[in-house]
Structure 1
Amino acid sequence: MTTPAHAPLPRHDRFDYTPIHRRPDFCWPGGARLAVYVAVNHEHFAFGAGLGARLAPGTEPDVLNHAWREYGNRVGAWRLMALLDQLGLPAAALLNTALYDHCPELVAACVARGDELVAHGHTNADNQSALAPEAEAALLAACRARIAAESGRAPEGWLSPWIAETPRTPDLLAAAGYRYTLNWCHDDQPTRLRTAAGPLWAIPYPQEANDIPAVIARQMTGAQFAELLADQFDEMREQSAHQPLVMGIALHPYLVGQPHRLRPLRRVLARIAAADDVWLTTPGRIAAHMDALAAEGGWPL
């Protein structure tokens, strides 16, 4: 059915339109204008069923692709953590709670290095878009409770597997106690979402500076992805003279943990880590800074 030319389109009503150059100005901690965070997606997949990125076509039981993704948990994640340690970079660990059953040593290593733990569903073999309200609420609560029980602190943030939502997801996230979501990639600044349970921050999460769409969808090489990150950083650093910005970098260990991709990633992350005029941070710290600004009346509701 065609929408009449004079009719407004369906909308979500989570936030209003505001162009980036007409917003309050502020600085990040230390006077920085660009906040940069690294998000490492630690994921576990069912064997013989469910969703998952594919290196090549396969049929279930899909040994080739399942084993390729598992390389991230066994090898890639450890190499990536060593690199982050070497550069002194903080990180957000986006966790499938199935990892507590599959490889708890990996989660413990994320906790030991001080990563912010972000809930990322139970497994990336599933998504929540078809769940009934009660089932979706139970999933959000169970992931938060599992991380709190196993790692000592409930997560403040959420990223849905496959960025899948129902129309109720932001309401359920706020009701469950989450302070921010990474699902919305509509801006380079945080946005305060309206929900039935109060405000929820949408912290910018990249779908361009992200190895899944870059490597899997666009079939970029590791060097091309690193060049993308370098260009993103340079341009956002320059643009941040006009307004404070957030640059996220989304990584999956089974992709960038491969040696031929880790080498160019090492070079670009070293350049970012050496910058003395940016705030190297986590999405939770960004949300906390925005909470403080909102409390002081420095950011619109």
Structure 2
Amino acid sequence: MLITHGRYDYHAWPDRPSYAWPGGARLAVYLGVNLEHFAFGEGLGAELAPGGPQPDVLNFAWRDYGNRVGAWRLLALLEETGFPATVLLNSAMYDYAPGLVAAHRARGDEIAGHGRTNSERQSTLPEPEERSLIAESTAAILRHEGAAPRGWLSPWIAESRITPDLLVESGYGYTLNWCVDDAPVWMRTRAGRLLAIPYPQEVNDIPAIAVRKDGAAQFADMIIDDFEERLHQVADGRPQVMGIALHPYLVGQPYRLRQLRRALMHLSARRAVVWVTTAGAVFDHVRSQPAGLVPGG
């Protein structure tokens, strides 16, 4: 037999029960805004062009543009369109750009854990070190926000075999790491259940723009087409979650921001028939449902 993770059981989509989001909506939409900081001259990082020897100034500076400029322009667009955000936060941002995190706090955006920095992967660490990474990131958010985060996205979506266990043991209720479904799924861990909320690997600017080299207009069209097709699909009564993953060093570039505005304005015009929300609010709604309604472990 094949080795399995044992975290959840298989549930065919046509067999899912029907339930609704608040207001009777069948489609929930949230924005995952990644605020990330990177070490200079070492470690991991997305690349605009193939990197040379360290220090790789070209790629470091391109990513840093996102925190200095792009993220502020994205914030203005969120205000313009009235979208809340789930901020996926490297805790190093509190030292590097505290005013940027404070601006999201002032909007009431959700702050979720995203490790210390995207210069590292937690999947390569022994258990004590991985536990320490989660604890350090969580403590920083608790100290600055006054409440611990409920959700987690690993840097580079990298997990060890015990990451879900460590997350529940650290007080987390949901993860965005497992892109296995179009609706939330409960996962089994050694410390209790953990909700896997859909986080996109297609409607996500890194694989779309940095990997597949899709253009700005193509990425905006992808958002719109994904949204419209999901609206068509949820007529079957089965709820879905549509996440949109954004990184300011990518979508904060002016020509991309203009196309993102087009997409968000399209979605905003249909707010009456969808639930525009945060990942944390999805978690709250799911855990209020009767046992057995939401599939999983």
TM superposition shift of 1:249: 0.1
TM superposition shift of 1:9: 0.9
Q: Structure 2: which amino acid aligns with 1:209?
A: V
Distance 1:168 1:299 in 2: 23
Q: 2:21 is matched with which residue?
A: 28
Q: How many equivalent residue pairs? A: 293
Normalising by the residue count of structure 1, what TM-score does the alignment of the two structures yield?
0.96
Q: 2:5 is matched with which residue?
A: 12
Q: 2:266 is matched with which residue?
A: 271
Q: Structure 2: which amino acid aligns with 1:255?
A: L
Q: Structure 1: which amino acid aligns with 2:235?
A: A
Q: 1:245 is matched with which residue?
A: 240
The match for 1:281 among 256, 273, 277 is: 277
Aligned identity (percent) is: 59
Contact 2:184 2:294 in 1 (8 A): no
3-state DSSP of counterpart to 2:189: coil
The match for 2:212 among 213, 218, 234 is: 218
3-state DSSP of counterpart to 2:258: helix
TM superposition shift of 1:20: 1.2
TM superposition shift of 1:299: 3.0
Contact 1:121 1:140 in 2 (8 A): yes
3-state DSSP of counterpart to 1:241: helix
Stretches of 4+ aligned residues off by more than 6 angstroms = none
TM superposition shift of 1:153: 1.4
Post-superposition Cα deviations, 1:38-61, rounded to whole Å, max 9, x if no partner, equal 010000000000100111122210
Q: Does residue 46 in structure 1 map to residue 36 in structure 2?
A: no
3-state DSSP of counterpart to 2:192: coil
Distance 2:176 2:106 in 1: 23
Q: Does residue 72 in structure 1 map to residue 66 in structure 2?
A: yes
TM superposition shift of 1:163: 0.4
TM superposition shift of 1:150: 1.2
Q: 1:261 is matched with which residue?
A: 256
Post-superposition Cα deviations, 1:212-260, rounded to whole Å, max 9, x if no partner, equal 0000110011101001111100101110111110000000000000001
Q: 1:98 is matched with which residue?
A: 92
The match for 2:150 among 131, 151, 156 is: 156
Q: Extract unaligned runs of 5+ from structure 2.
A: none
TM superposition shift of 1:294: 3.8
Distance 2:80 2:41 in 1: 37
The match for 1:178 among 164, 172, 179 is: 172
The match for 1:139 among 128, 133, 138 is: 133
Q: 1:5 is matched with which residue?
A: none
**Residue pairs, 1:202-217, within 5 angstroms:** 202-217=196-211
TM superposition shift of 1:209: 0.3
Post-superposition Cα deviations, 1:242-283, rounded to whole Å, max 9, x if no partner, equal 111000000000000000100011011011112110000001
Let me know the Cα RMSD of the aligned residues.
Answer: 0.9
Contact 2:134 2:170 in 1 (8 A): yes
Q: 2:194 is matched with which residue?
A: 200
Normalising by the residue count of structure 2, what TM-score does the alignment of the two structures yield?
0.97
Q: Does residue 122 in structure 1 map to residue 127 in structure 2?
A: no
